[in-house]
Amino acid sequence: MATIADFFHWLAAKRGYNFSIFYDRFDGTQFLYGIWTTIHLSFFCVLLSVLFGAIGVWLQRSSFEPLRWLVGAYVGFFRNTPPLVQLYFFYFAVDPVLSSALGVKGGLLSNYGWALLVLSLYAGAFNTEIFRSGIEAVPKSTCEAAEALGYTPLQIFRHVTFPLAFRVSFPAMTSNLVNLIKTTTTAYAISVAETLYVANRIWSDQFNVFEMMNVVWVVYLVLVGLFLAFMTRWEKALRVPGFGRSK
């Protein structure tokens, strides 16, 4: 560790490339915390957005019409307005108004909480549509065949509809989730201490915008790359022979 620190010290002193995060303990820890925040924010957002997507598609298929309207309004609202404005709207407008109306001191959720909720809702709206198209791709005759074999509706969903729909939705879902991970940077705007925010704090102290900007870029490329690699492997593992992309 000492040699790495020494090297970056030397680089800063002699070459003028100040990667302070590699030799300054304070900056280094701060930056690691930033990356860690990005990782768990992305992780929970991904989980929640898939959950919202599943709930959305479930409500959308209910026979109770107002529920379908509700899902339609949710999807339409979150898909056709900018995510940054959504974030500001919930954090700067909905939170203070609601908390003053309810008499809660200090806001309903923290900035992290709102970022998590709003970004999940945002990606969840897209997931709803993706899952819906996946379920629609499962032919009726397959379900009818299962019914003829004596499957109950729940069993049909568990053993026929879901496995096929999930595989159909998988590629679109992956790119939506990648998009979600990229969008977590927007949480910067409400000062969630994620990678970009922390990097900003560091370059304000150290005046090393160029170095930090490149480090941040690489960090995101690595994070997205790891996620994509994981999802691609999972997709391969899920592949059913005779079904899937022709390649």
Partner 1 sequence: MSEHPKFHLPVMLPVRPVATSTACLVATLSSRWGLLAILSGLALCLGLEQAWAQQDMAAFSIWEAIVKWTPLIFWGTGQGLGGFVLNIWVSVLAMTIGTCLGLMLGIGQVSPHRVLRWPSWAVTQLFRNSPWLVLLFYFMMLLPYEIRILGFSVPFSGWFKATVALSLPVMANISEIVRGAILSIPTGQWESAESLALTRRQTMWRIILPQCVKRMIPPWMNWYCILVMSTPLISILGVQDAMTLTQDALAAEGRMELLIPFYLWLMLWFFAYTYPIARWTRRLESRFAVKL
Residue 72 beta carbon to partner 1: minimum distance, rounded to whole angstroms: 3
3-state secondary structure of 109: coil
| Cβ-contact 149, 140 below 8 angstroms | no
Residue 108 beta carbon to partner 1: minimum distance, rounded to whole angstroms: 14
Helices (H) and strands (E) in the chain, counts: 12, 0
Cβ neighbourhood burial of 122 (10 Å; 0-12, 13-18, 19+): buried
| Cα 43 to Cα 238: distance, rounded to the nearest angstrom | 21
| Cα 165 to Cα 167: distance, rounded to the nearest angstrom | 5
Dihedral angle computed from the Cα positions of residues 98, 99, 100 and 106, in that order, rounded to the nearest 10 degrees: -150
| Cα 218 to Cα 135: distance, rounded to the nearest angstrom | 37
Candidates 203, 160, 94, 191; CA nearest to 168 is 160
Q: Is 5 or 94 the residue whose CB approaches partner 1 more closely?
A: 94
Detail the DSSP E strand segments found in 28-180: none
Q: Is residue 28 close enough to count as binding partner 1 by CB under 8 A? A: no
Crossing angle of helices 25-60 and 65-79, in 10° steps, is: 150
Q: Is residue 115 close enough to count as binding partner 1 by CB under 8 A? A: no
Q: Is residue 100 close enough to count as binding partner 1 by CB under 8 A? A: yes
| Cα 162 to Cα 143: distance, rounded to the nearest angstrom | 11
Q: Per-residue string for binding with partner 1, 146-175, x by CB under 8 A? A: ------------------x---x--xx--x
Q: Per-residue string for binding with partner 1, 38-77, x by CB under 8 A? A: -------------------------------x-xxxxxxx
Among 185, 191, 201, 231, binds partner 1 (CB under 8 A): 185
Touching partner 1, residues 117-136 (CB under 8 A)? 126, 129-130, 133-134, 136
Q: Per-residue string for binding with partner 1, 196-215, x by CB under 8 A? A: x---x--------xx--x--
- In this chain, which stretch among 4-12, 28-36, 103-111, 138-146 interacts with partner 1, using CB under 8 A? 138-146
Q: Is 29 or 175 the residue whose CB approaches partner 1 more closely?
A: 175
Candidates 54, 80, 56; CA nearest to 68 is 56
Where on the chain is the footprint of partner 1 (CB under 8 A)? 69, 71-86, 88-89, 92-94, 96-97, 100, 126, 129-130, 133-134, 136-139, 141-142, 164, 168, 171-172, 175-176, 178-179, 182-186, 188-189, 196, 200, 209-210, 213, 216-217, 220-221, 224-225, 228, 242-246
